[in-house]
């Protein structure tokens, strides 16, 4: 008896929840309104079945509840009824399937005039490539992957020279133009998904996958990886900015081609050494750092990481008005560097210095820290050596007070909140679970015990 | 090794094992093995339940608990999923209920190969121990998600990629060996050891469901075995079955040419039948619960049997609907969307027939019946959302979102679990001789049934919104509103309530074992053979000196003109029945 | 996918044929009372043989899936076929001889020549061991020639499939060992069942080996 009432209430409640739910398909931003239509048809068909069958069941339970003097009807089967029900079900199924298959045929047929963009994913970043003037992508191969060639471009392929490489998790695309998205992964499975576009596809290492769509409104949309890709899966975010053709073209023109990137001058350590003179006041003549001045040891940090941070400081991505005073100080100093080449030179010099072995200044329990550190190890390496594909710097040879301070800053919002600081956003998310001073001290203490024996050989292997 | 021969009719010495050890530990009695399977599966299921509570805590209150780091979270989801699907549901439905019910329902003294049956349990226990051991190795259990997709499962960025994944794969291989031992027994016993008069069409639907599910398992589990072995070799011996050239820790791994999609094909060739390996026994059992407690024959018995067979066959040609966005050849989408939606027809017929069994019945709302009704409601919900995901274009926006999580938890989490609870309330009196407490049972039912719906219904809507599954934290996005976070808190509260309510069930089990009302042989007035045993609980050999003879089908409830509203299968025909026909 | 689909099709055909035999269209609620006295009485031998058949179906499913994976993986460009060591032909002969010995053993046992049957089974046991040793030698030859498991998927499949087949042979040898161990304590009919089951298993594994051999050398 009670259960019959509850079933009715559940049906009513479900319908009301459906009608008044603020959580529903995001406003569509692509041409695939037909997908939404198919969903609507499915909602109607399944909704009707849900309501009818459950209400019928509730009524049956109420009507035929147990009575001592009552008897069930003995009716082994009813062919007519069963055939009717089967036929009706089949009609409902066809009503959902047929439009689905028609739409699917469209989804897998890419229009001839579609422009192409390639998305290359790796743990846990997105990068993008456009085919350039010749409208043709250069060939790639995993054997070419290196920090200088993150796309694995074949250097000898003429078709690849004018490819436009976007080493950022943001991409711009033009509105109202059919776009074929080609997908590639460098390591594990990923999935390039923008909920507002409705379509998505896995990225599979060793093969190329694709989908196509036409953006129908401008705006910035979240890219989320939707295939579990390891510990940083939830951090693999990006943005697709849909804008008018003009804006898109000027954005595209501001990006570098593969030829331009290769033409960049090789970093000059000697020039870098001269530039470094300015830094010695705080960071010390051999990059050993000075805690009294809040200047961390920087000797031997990876050149790419140092260059990226200096670039952030120069552009206000780090050290802006909302960050701490020391960062702002550093931003001012970084501003004295003339151009990208100067940044690369000084970074190369810093990388060439032999790493410091700073003293322990903080108490912490390295054993507890080890359990925490395995979350860090996926990016920073099990020995704290840093991994170029994840963009994570080496952690050994870095002052513990500096690491602890930066973790605090990530947690408190002083660092990593700038929209262009993609790696910073990941650190913000990762630092968030380090609750309390104890956890930070513990993990920093564990990092202090790591010996990065492999760092030099790794540098060699990378051809530095 | 004492065991009685199976179907010898009379004059045999029913020597029961004498010592405690041969009776309860190294037992070859199917009933003891069933209970062993059941207890182990429930214990390991409690671990998985605790893991899910941790996951819900993290999702509702992200970053509040330092003991749930991202690595932990991914390990929790992986172990929760694998334990629940394989080590709890498969083991409990087939190893537990299969073992207990098959010989009793078909009128056999035991399984055909009792020694193999005992071995099956112990090998299963070994697989559980190996799996649990992965919690204690360095790096912890694998965090690859229960689908264990390579390259991710065996590469650096995944928790437990060194020790945990190896133990997981080894444990699965061992489990498959255990399952094969058990499965050979179930199939052979059902085909060979049925008692006199027990034709296939007189079998209760529980046996049909378990039978076909076992056949599916025997054919599908090898696919998991193949993928586990090949992935182990990729990991340990450096082969490239599934591993293409790829970067790990910034360097090429030395693999080349392998196909991650090949693994997915193999995995889902197992994985989809696995859904029915869990569902079919539940379908069968719930049919018997509904029929017994509605005091009415199951409506459309023949259609029910045919539907089980059709689902069994079709379940092997729908696997790639899990792979619409995997990058496989897009033309597969047409084929698999069509087969997937076709399989909905026999499934729908089963639902209609359950409801039509209630119609014009005389429904006793006992605790098992409540669970059965709860199952129908949950299964209708989960089955209908399956039509979204089976239709390839609808799947595109919904795949890998919370819609999927909501769907499969309704259809193969909540639904089979409700059946399992109903079945335990139903057969506990036969297993122990005592009734479970009714009040505690009702508390357990209401909070579990309503609680699970409160958990999973809203999840579908998060999925429509586009909230991805397997995210440690949602972070900042443009499209997920604040309200989604408060919804997550509500879901977690419901989940914690449901988790805690299971304690009521455990208390009920222990309390009733000692203090429950004595049940008698046939407390539900049921027709099937297991309720006609000379002793309750049935003794070793089940049937005393003489095996029962079956004269009728399993659903003679409320036959017109009869005094009682049920006629056990062992009752010879009445006058008019014999006149009406010997035409079978 | 072809192989597994073929296997499944064959299996479905068997199931359908079986279903048609079972008269699943009878209306079971009619005809109460019929007890089917023509029903075959329970037989331990038939159950054991049926159990073995079901097990063979499981193994077939296992190897069909491997073969499917083999064909799918074969079409990737990095596939480099490996030479078949000549010893495989000897091994094939050994396994065949082993199966024949078991078959004759079974037939002799049926004529109650208990001792002779035992010697024949022991011969079969030795030949099967020789087969395993031969397979091991083939592995050694390949490894020595530089065909290592991680070099190429073709090599990997060779080691994997021969290894798994070998494990199944080893399992059979274990069962045959038990049967021989208990041989003199058992009655002729018990021995006959054991030898029959072993010999059926042997024939199956020989057929499987022929298919694998063909598969592995067809590239």
Residue A386 sits in a domain whose CATH number is 1.10.760.10
What is the rounded distance in angstroms from the CA atom of residue B558 to the CA atom of residue A44? 39
Encoded tokens for C123: 């011969």
Does the pLDDT of residue A462 top 80, yes or no?
Answer: no
The answer to whether the CB atoms of C24 and B306 lie below 8 A apart is yes
A452 pLDDT band (50/70/90 cuts)?
low
Distances B521 to B434, B435, B535 between C-alpha atoms, Å: 10, 11, 7
Residue with tokens 């689905």: A100
A351: cis peptide before it, omega within 30°? no
What Rg value do the Cα atoms of chain A yield, rounded? Answer: 29
Domain with residue B118: its CATH number is 1.20.210.10
- State residue B544's pLDDT score: 86
What is the rounded distance in angstroms from the CA atom of residue C175 to the CA atom of residue A383? 50
For chain C, report the end-to-end CA distance as a whole number of angstroms. 17
Lowest mean pLDDT among A352-356, B450-454, B494-498: A352-356
Q: Which of B198, B218, B246 lies at the terminal end of a domain, its last residue? A: B198
Report yes or no on B479 lying in a domain. Answer: no
Residue with tokens 């010749």: A134
What is the rounded distance in angstroms from the CA atom of residue C152 to the CA atom of residue B21? 51
- State residue A437's pLDDT score: 66
Residues 6+ apart with CB under 8 A from B331: A108
CA-closest candidate to residue A239, choices A128, A331, A143, A347: A128
- State residue A89's pLDDT score: 95
Chain B: list its partners (3+ Cβ pairs within 8 Å). A, C
Q: Are A379 and B249 in contact (CB under 8 A)?
A: no
Sign for the CA dihedral angle at A329, A334, A338, A339 comes to: negative
For B518, the 3-state DSSP assignment is strand
Distances A383 to A94, A392, B46, B386 between C-alpha atoms, Å: 58, 12, 36, 46
For C168, the 3-state DSSP assignment is helix
Measured N-to-C along each axis, helices B332-358 and B367-390 cross at an angle, to the nearest 10 degrees, of 160
Encoded tokens for C200: 């059926």
What is the rounded distance in angstroms from the CA atom of residue A220 to the CA atom of residue A172? 9
Q: Are A163 and A144 in contact (CB under 8 A)?
A: no
**Residue B257: left if φ>0, alpha if ψ -120 to 50, beta else—which one?**
left
The answer to whether the CB atoms of B392 and A17 lie below 8 A apart is no
Encoded tokens for B445: 């039912």
Does the pLDDT of residue B280 top 70, yes or no?
Answer: yes
What does the pLDDT look like over B529-568, one tens digit per residue? 999 999 989 998 898 888 999 999 999 999 988 888 899 9
- A206 vs chain C: nearest CA distance in angstroms? 11
Tell which C residues from 31 to 90 touch B, by Cβ distance under 8 Å: 31-37, 39, 41-44, 46-47, 50-51, 54-55, 57-58, 61-62, 65-66, 69, 72-73, 76-79
Average pLDDT of the residues of chain C: 89
Q: Which of A220, A240, A263 lies at the terminal end of a domain, its last residue? A: A263
Residues 6+ apart with CB under 8 A from B319: B265, B268, B269, B271, B272, B273, B336
Q: CA of B390: which chain A residue's CA is closest?
A: A97
- B61 vs chain A: nearest CA distance in angstroms? 11
The answer to whether the CB atoms of A46 and B465 lie below 8 A apart is no
CA atoms within 13 A on the CB side of A258: 25
Residues A124 and A207 in one domain: yes
Residues 6+ apart with CB under 8 A from C192: C106, C109, C110
Residue with tokens 């003891």: B32
Domain that holds residue A60: 2-70+78-107
What does the pLDDT look like over C92-130, one tens digit per residue? 999 999 999 999 999 999 998 888 999 999 999 999 999
* Chain A contact set for B249 (CB, 8 A): 381, 387, 389
The answer to whether the CB atoms of B229 and C39 lie below 8 A apart is no
Q: Give the count of domains, chain A.
A: 4
* Chain B contact set for A71 (CB, 8 A): 295, 362, 558, 560, 565
What does the pLDDT look like over C14-56, one tens digit per residue? 877 877 777 777 888 887 777 666 667 788 889 999 999 999 9
Whether C77 has its CB under 8 Å from any CB of chain A: the answer is no
Average pLDDT of the residues of chain B: 92
Residues A364 and A341 in one domain: no
What does the pLDDT look like over A75-103, one tens digit per residue? 898 999 999 999 999 999 999 999 999 99
Report yes or no on B104 lying in a domain. Answer: yes
Chain A: list its partners (3+ Cβ pairs within 8 Å). B, C
Domain that holds residue B101: 27-198
CA-closest candidate to residue A227, choices C183, B151, B167: B151
What is the rounded distance in angstroms from the CA atom of residue B573 to the CA atom of residue B570? 9
Report yes or no on whether pTM surpasses 0.90.
yes
CB-count burial class (<10 Å; 0-12, 13-18, 19+) for B346 = buried
- B17 vs chain C: nearest CA distance in angstroms? 22
Q: Where along chain C do its domains lie?
A: 2-22+42-217
For B136, the 3-state DSSP assignment is coil
Q: Average pLDDT in the B328-354 region?
A: 94
Report yes or no on B464 lying in a domain. Answer: no
Does the pLDDT of residue A195 top 60, yes or no?
Answer: yes
What does the pLDDT look like over C80-95, one tens digit per residue? 888 888 899 999 999 9
Q: How many CB atoms lie within 10 A of CB C128?
A: 25
Distances A116 to A111, A112, A249, B14 between C-alpha atoms, Å: 11, 11, 14, 78
CA-closest candidate to residue C36, choices B552, B495, A31: B552
Residues 6+ apart with CB under 8 A from C180: C118, C121, C122, C125
For a pLDDT cut of 70, what percent of chain A falls above it? 97
Residues A363 and A419 in one domain: yes
Q: Which of A32, A97, A228, A304 to mutate to test the interface with B (most CBs of B within 10 A)?
A: A228
Residues A228 and A320 in one domain: no
For A239, the 3-state DSSP assignment is strand
Q: Which of B172, B198, B224 lies at the terminal end of a domain, its last residue? A: B198
What does the pLDDT look like over B44-69, one tens digit per residue? 999 999 999 999 999 999 888 878 89
Q: Which of A210, A236, A263 lies at the terminal end of a domain, its last residue? A: A263
What is the rounded distance in angstroms from the CA atom of residue B212 to the CA atom of residue B203? 13
- C152 vs chain B: nearest CA distance in angstroms? 7
The answer to whether the CB atoms of B184 and C42 lie below 8 A apart is no
Triad B495, B499, B502: Cα angle to 5°: 145
- State residue B43's pLDDT score: 96
Q: Are B129 and B170 in contact (CB under 8 A)?
A: no
Q: Which of B304, B399, B462, B466 to mutate to test the interface with A (most CBs of A within 10 A)?
A: B466
* Chain C contact set for A82 (CB, 8 A): none
Report yes or no on B578 lying in a domain. Answer: yes
Residues A102 and A152 in one domain: no
For B251, the 3-state DSSP assignment is strand
Distances B23 to A125, B1, B32, B100, B450 between C-alpha atoms, Å: 59, 11, 8, 16, 40
B584 pLDDT band (50/70/90 cuts)?
very low
Q: Are B236 and A175 in contact (CB under 8 A)?
A: no
Q: Are B347 and A53 in contact (CB under 8 A)?
A: no
Encoded tokens for B38: 């059941």
CA-closest candidate to residue A455, choices A399, A400, A397, A389: A397
Whether C24 has its CB under 8 Å from any CB of chain A: the answer is no
Residue with tokens 């940090």: A301
CA atoms within 13 A on the CB side of B105: 31
Report yes or no on B538 lying in a domain. Answer: yes
Q: Average pLDDT in the B474-503 region?
A: 94
Does the pLDDT of residue B5 top 50, yes or no?
Answer: no
**C2-22+42-217: CATH architecture:** Up-down Bundle (1.20)
Chain C: list its partners (3+ Cβ pairs within 8 Å). A, B
- State residue A328's pLDDT score: 86
Q: Which of B198, B215, B236 lies at the terminal end of a domain, its last residue? A: B198
Q: How many CB atoms lie within 10 A of CB A326?
A: 18
Q: Average pLDDT in the B243-256 region?
A: 90
Q: Give the count of domains, chain B.
A: 2
Q: Average pLDDT in the B502-525 region?
A: 94
Report yes or no on B154 lying in a domain. Answer: yes
CA atoms within 13 A on the CB side of B532: 21
- B366 vs chain A: nearest CA distance in angstroms? 10
What does the pLDDT look like over B394-445, one tens digit per residue? 999 999 999 999 999 999 999 999 999 999 999 999 999 999 999 999 999 9
What is the rounded distance in angstroms from the CA atom of residue B402 to the CA atom of residue B484? 12
Whether B551 has its CB under 8 Å from any CB of chain C: the answer is yes
Q: CA of A74: which chain C residue's CA is closest?
A: C29
Q: Taking the C-alpha atoms of B313, B317, B322 and B325 in order, what is their torsion angle to the nearest 10 degrees? A: -170
Q: Are A321 and A414 in contact (CB under 8 A)?
A: no
User: Which contacts qualify for A216-220: CB closer than 8 Å, 24 or more apart?
Assistant: A216/A28, A216/A29, A216/A30, A216/A31, A216/A175, A216/A176, A217/A29, A217/A175, A217/A242, A218/A175, A218/A242, A218/A243, A218/A244, A219/A29, A220/B478
Identify which of C24, C65, C153 has the shortest CB distance to residue B201: C24
Whether B443 has its CB under 8 Å from any CB of chain A: the answer is no
Whether B123 has its CB under 8 Å from any CB of chain C: the answer is no
């Amino acid at each position: 008896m009670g259960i019959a009432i509850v079933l009715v209430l559940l049906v009513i409640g479900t319908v009301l929840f459906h009608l008044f739910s603020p959580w529903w398909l995001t406003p569509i931003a692509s041409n695939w309104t037909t997908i939404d239509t198919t969903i609507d048809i499915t909602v109607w068909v399944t909704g009707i079945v849900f309501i009818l069958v459950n209400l019928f069941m509730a009524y049956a339970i109420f009507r035929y509840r147990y009575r001592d003097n009552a008897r069930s009807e003995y009716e082994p089967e009813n062919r007519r009824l069963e055939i009717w029900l089967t036929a009706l079900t089949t009609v409902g199924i066809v009503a959902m399937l047929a439009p689905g298959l028609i739409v699917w045929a469209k989804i897998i047929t890419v229009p001839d005039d579609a422009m192409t963009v390639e998305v290359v994913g790796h743990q846990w970043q997105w990068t993008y490539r456009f085919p350039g003037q010749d409208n043709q992508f250069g060939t790639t191969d995993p054997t070419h992957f290196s920090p200088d060639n993150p796309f694995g471009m074949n250097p000898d392929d003429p078709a690849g020279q004018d490819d436009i490489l976007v080493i950022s998790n943001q991409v711009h695309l033009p509105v109202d133009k059919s776009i074929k998205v080609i997908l590639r992964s460098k390591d594990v499975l990923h999935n390039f998904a923008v909920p507002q576009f409705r379509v998505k596809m896995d990225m599979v290492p060793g093969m190329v996958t694709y989908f196509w769509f036409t953006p129908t409104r401008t705006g910035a949309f979240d890219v989320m990886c939707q295939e579990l890709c390891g510990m940083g899966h939830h951090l693999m975010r990006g943005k697709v900015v849909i804008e008018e053709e003009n804006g898109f073209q000027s954005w595209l023109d501001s990006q570098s081609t593969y030829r331009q990137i290769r033409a960049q001058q090789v970093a000059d350590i000697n020039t870098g050494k001269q530039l470094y003179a300015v830094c010695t006041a705080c960071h010390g003549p051999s990059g050993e750092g000075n805690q009294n001045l809040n200047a961390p040891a920087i000797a031997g940090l990876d050149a790419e990481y140092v260059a990226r941070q200096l670039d952030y400081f120069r552009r206000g991505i780090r050290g802006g008005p909302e960050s701490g005073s020391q960062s702002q100080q550093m931003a001012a100093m970084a501003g004295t560097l003339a151009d990208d080449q100067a940044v690369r030179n000084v970074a190369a010099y810093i990388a060439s210095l032999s790493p410091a072995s700073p003293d322990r200044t903080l108490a912490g329990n390295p054993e507890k820290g080890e359990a925490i550190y395995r979350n860090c190890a996926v990016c920073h390496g099990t020995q704290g050596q840093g991994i170029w594909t994840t963009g994570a710097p080496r952690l050994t040879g870095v002052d513990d007070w500096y690491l602890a301070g930066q973790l605090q800053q990530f947690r408190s919002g002083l660092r990593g909140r700038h929209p262009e600081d993609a790696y910073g956003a990941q650190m913000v998310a990762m630092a968030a679970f380090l609750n309390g001073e104890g956890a930070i001290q513990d993990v920093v203490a564990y990092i202090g015990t790591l010996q990065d024996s492999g760092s030099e050989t790794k540098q060699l292997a990378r051809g530095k | 090794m004492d065991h009685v021969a199976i179907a010898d009719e009379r004059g045999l010495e029913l020597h029961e094992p004498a010592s405690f050890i041969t009776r309860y530990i190294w037992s070859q009695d199917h009933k003891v093995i069933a209970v062993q399977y059941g207890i182990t599966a429930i214990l390991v299921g409690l671990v998985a339940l605790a893991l899910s509570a941790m996951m819900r805590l993290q999702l509702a209150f992200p970053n509040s608990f330092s003991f749930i780091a991202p690595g932990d979270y991914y390990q929790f989801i992986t172990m929760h999923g694998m334990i629940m699907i394989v080590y709890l549901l498969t083991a409990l439905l087939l190893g537990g209920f299969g073992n207990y019910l098959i010989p009793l329902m078909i009128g056999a003294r035991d399984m055909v190969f009792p020694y193999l049956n005992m071995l099956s349990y112990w090998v299963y226990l070994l697989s559980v121990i190996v799996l649990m051991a992965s919690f204690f190795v360095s790096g912890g259990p694998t965090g690859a998600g229960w689908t264990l997709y390579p390259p991710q499962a065996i590469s650096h960025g995944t928790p437990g990629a060194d020790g945990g994944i190896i133990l997981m794969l080894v444990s699965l291989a061992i489990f498959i060996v255990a399952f094969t031992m058990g499965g050979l027994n179930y199939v052979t016993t059902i085909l060979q050891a049925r008692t006199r008069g027990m034709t296939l069409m007189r079998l209760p639907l529980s046996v049909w469901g378990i039978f076909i599910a076992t056949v599916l398992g025997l054919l599908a589990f090898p696919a998991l075995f193949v993928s586990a072995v090949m992935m182990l070799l990729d990991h340990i011996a450096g082969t490239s079955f599934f591993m293409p050239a790829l970067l790990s820790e910034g360097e090429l791994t030395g693999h080349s040419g392998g196909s991650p999609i090949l693994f997915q094909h193999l995995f889902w060739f197992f994985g989809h039948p696995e859904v029915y390996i869990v569902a079919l026994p539940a379908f069968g059992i719930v049919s018997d619960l509904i029929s017994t407690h509605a005091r009415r024959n199951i409506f459309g018995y023949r259609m029910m049997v045919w539907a089980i067979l059709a689902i069994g066959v079709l379940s092997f040609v729908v696997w790639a609907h899990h792979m619409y966005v995997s990058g496989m050849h897009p033309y597969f989408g047409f084929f698999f969307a069509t087969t997937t939606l076709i399989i909905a027809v026999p499934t729908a017929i089963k639902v209609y027939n359950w409801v039509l069994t209630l119609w014009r019945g005389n429904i006793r709302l006992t605790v098992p019946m409540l669970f059965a009704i709860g199952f129908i409601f949950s299964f209708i919900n989960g089955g209908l959302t399956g039509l979204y995901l089976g239709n390839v274009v609808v799947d595109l926006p919904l795949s890998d979102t919370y819609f999927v999580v909501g769907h499969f938890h309704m259809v193969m989490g909540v639904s089979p679990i409700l059946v399992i609870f109903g079945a335990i309330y139903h057969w506990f009196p036969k297993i122990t001789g005592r009734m479970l407490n009714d009040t505690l049972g009702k508390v357990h039912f209401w909070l579990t049934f309503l609680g699970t719906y409160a958990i999973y219904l809203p999840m579908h809507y998060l999925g429509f919104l586009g909230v991805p599954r397997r995210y440690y934290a949602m972070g900042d996005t443009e499209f997920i509103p604040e309200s989604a976070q408060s919804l997550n808190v509500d879901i977690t509260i419901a989940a914690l309530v449901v988790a805690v309510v299971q304690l009521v069930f455990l208390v009920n089990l222990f309390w009733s074992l000692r203090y429950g009302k004595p049940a008698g042989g046939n407390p539900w007035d049921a027709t099937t053979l297991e309720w006609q045993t000379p002793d309750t609980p049935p003794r070793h050999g089940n049937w005393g000196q003489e095996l029962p003879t079956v004269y009728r089908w399993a659903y003679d409830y409320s036959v017109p003109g009869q005094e009682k509203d049920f006629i056990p299968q062992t009752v010879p025909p009445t006058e008019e029945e014999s006149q009406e026909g010997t035409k079978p | 996918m072809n192989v597994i689909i073929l296997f499944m099709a064959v299996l479905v055909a068997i199931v359908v044929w079986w279903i048609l035999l079972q008269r699943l269209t009878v209306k079971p609620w009619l005809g109460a009372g019929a007890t089917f006295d023509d029903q075959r009485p329970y037989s331990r031998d038939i159950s054991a043989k049926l159990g073995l058949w079901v097990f063979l179906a499981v193994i077939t499913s296992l190897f069909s899936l491997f073969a499917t994976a083999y064909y799918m993986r074969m079409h990737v460009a990095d596939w480099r076929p490996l030479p078949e060591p000549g010893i495989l032909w000897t091994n094939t002969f050994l396994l065949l001889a082993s199966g024949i010995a078991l078959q004759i053993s079974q037939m002799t046992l049926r004529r109650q020549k208990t001792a002779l049957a035992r010697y024949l089974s022991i011969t079969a046991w030795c030949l099967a061991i020789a087969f395993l040793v031969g397979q091991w030698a083939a592995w050694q030859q390949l490894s020595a020639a530089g065909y290592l498991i991680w070099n190429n998927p073709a090599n990997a499949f060779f080691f994997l499939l021969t290894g798994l087949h070998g494990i199944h042979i080893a399992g059979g040898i274990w069962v045959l060992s038990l049967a021989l161990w208990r041989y003199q304590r058992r009655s002729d009919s018990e021995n006959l069942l054991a030898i029959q089951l072993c010999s059926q298993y042997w024939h199956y594994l020989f057929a499987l080996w022929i298919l694998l051999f063909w598969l592995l050398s067809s590239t």
